[in-house]
Amino acid sequence: MNALQFQSMSKVYGAGPSRVEALREINLTIAPGQTVALVGASGSGKTTLLNLAAGFDRPTTGAIRLATFELANLGEVALAKMRRTQVGFLFQSLNLLPTLSAGENIQLALELAAVPKADQAERISTLLQSAALADKARTFCEALSAGERQRIAVLRALAHRPGLLLMDEPTSCLDTPNADQLMELVLELNRAEGTAMVLTTHDMRVAQRMQRIVRLHDGRIIDDDVKPD
């Protein structure tokens, strides 16, 4: 069973003169636990690919399979449930709730995934310790630094132990030390929990840390570089 698979998948927006082929005949299979960077110029289709993988959007043609789910067969309610249990998504805007503490933001993800109340405190504690943020559990997110907020957002996205984590430009708003710290955390959690991870980035320093680099251009995959074991 693969973590994620696109089969002859295309995405078209609009019609007539305004028709845009955002993605064209994408064939891509991502194995469980694999880390993948999507690279390419702005408008190449990277973020569209992430949104389709998460079920935020639907393909025009072709199929998308996430673990055992065929996304085309799921209605909106089923898609939402699938995301709460199978996928973690790190948005560029983070979407942390400023009126909740760091720990409460993580707890919210656990509650949405119906993780038993008795297991939530231990999971939150373990995640915060992994990111060296145990002392920030009760700190409101608006009082955290940019790097700390980014790490909390990653922990929230992984709290429910999804099989797949999708990250849209996770280091774009960070300086080099904070970007390096975030990537160390992401890769440590990948090793510890075996979560497949796909990120978009313009930073080749970030891309080179992943096991696989997929390059897009004008909605097509033009290169797929898998590092040797």
Going from N- to C-terminal start, the domains of the chain cover 32-58+82-226
Q: Judge contact between 110 and 124, C-beta under 8 A.
A: yes
pTM of the model: 0.93
The CB-based long-range contact list for 23-27 (8 Å cut-off, 24+ gap) reads 23/48, 23/49, 23/52, 23/59, 23/219, 23/220, 24/218, 24/219, 24/220, 25/62, 25/220, 26/62, 26/220, 26/221, 27/221
Q: Residue 214 forms beta bridges with which residues?
A: 38, 224
32-58+82-226 is a CATH 3.40.1050.10 domain: no
- CA–CA separation, 38 vs 223, rounded Å? 10
pLDDT in tens, 12-57: 998 888 899 999 999 999 999 999 999 999 999 999 999 999 999 9
Per-residue confidence of the chain (229 residues) as pLDDT tens digits?
A: 689 999 999 999 988 888 999 999 999 999 999 999 999 999 999 999 999 999 999 999 999 999 889 998 899 999 988 888 899 999 888 889 988 999 999 999 999 888 999 999 999 999 999 999 999 999 999 899 999 999 999 999 999 999 999 999 999 989 999 999 999 999 999 999 999 999 999 999 999 999 999 999 999 999 999 988 7
Tokens of 18: 């305004």
Q: What is the pLDDT of residue 201?
A: 96
